[in-house]
Amino acid sequence: MFVLFAIIIEHLFDPSIRDKAILRRTVCDHAHIISHKHPYWNRSLGADHFMLSCHDWGPRATWYVPQPYYNSIRVLCNANTSEHFNPKKDASFPEINLITGEITYLTGGLPPSNRTILALFAGGLHGKIRPALLRYWKERDKDDTLKKSRFCICPGGHEVASPRIVEVTYAECVPGLISQHHVLPFSDVLNWESFSVQVPVSEIPSLKNILMGDRYFRMYEQVKMVQRHFVVNNPSVRYDAFNMIIPSIWLRRLNVCIN
């Protein structure tokens, strides 16, 4: 199921009205065309189909059409269980922001001995977690970069997903994850606890003590190992982001019985 949300916003959506009825009509019409034009959708009611979206409208779009919502595999960057993301059926995908389309200048960083900053936090103050984090982390490290920091804080904002998680992995900075209800990308394959620090919101006041533990060097090596799984290549290469999401989709497809 292929829906370009950017095209919908540019040509059909009126920001002054902010009426998302156009989204409902577009998605419903799209599903109607597929189900009437092709036989494959109807044999499983969409259960052996998937949709991919990193737009924050992606989950909302499926609310309007029962078959994609209940049956199809939804591959979403905003994998939020509080917004009905179902890890048994849906797959989480990393949000990747490639401004120029090039990736070579984004990867790599200083060795641990030259990373003089304990942790970096940068970004807007949207959502509930970031203002709480800023109360304990303000005026620190604001002029330093990802590649000079040992840990890089990745707090949830308006959405649980953020391209920052991939950015810090490219920079070989250990992710410090502070979020709620977020199913991490490729979590059915990767052991996130081996290369990231996951901090409950209630533990934000103790964040510095948590990061001062003795696990950093081991995690740093693990970040370097998993970095390739978040890299986009054209054409795709073994173990890159494309070849990570395909097994995740296939694992969910195995649960579908087609008559």
Q: Where are the domains of the chain?
A: 5-97+240-253, 104-230
Q: Which residues of 6-42 are buried (b: 16+ CB within 10 A; e: fewer)?
A: eebeeeebeeeeeeeeebeebbeebbeebbeeeeebe
Pairwise CA distance, residues 139 & 149, whole Å:
15
- The answer to whether the CB of 94 falls within 8 A of the CB of 185 is yes
In tens, the pLDDT along 48-76 reads 889 888 887 778 888 888 887 888 899 99
What pLDDT digit, counting tens, does each position of 115-125 carry?
988 887 766 66
Give this prediction's pTM. 0.82
Identity of residue 232:
V
The confidence score (pLDDT) of residue 61 equals: 80
| Rounded mean pLDDT, 78-86 | 89
pLDDT band at 103 (very low <50, low <70, confident <90, very high): confident
Q: Is the pLDDT of residue 2 over 60?
A: no
Across the beta sheet with 174-178, the strand order is 117-120, 149-155, 174-178, 197-198
Q: What is the mean pLDDT of the chain?
A: 83
> pLDDT digits over 109-159, tens only?
889 999 988 887 766 666 667 676 666 665 454 434 778 889 998 887 677
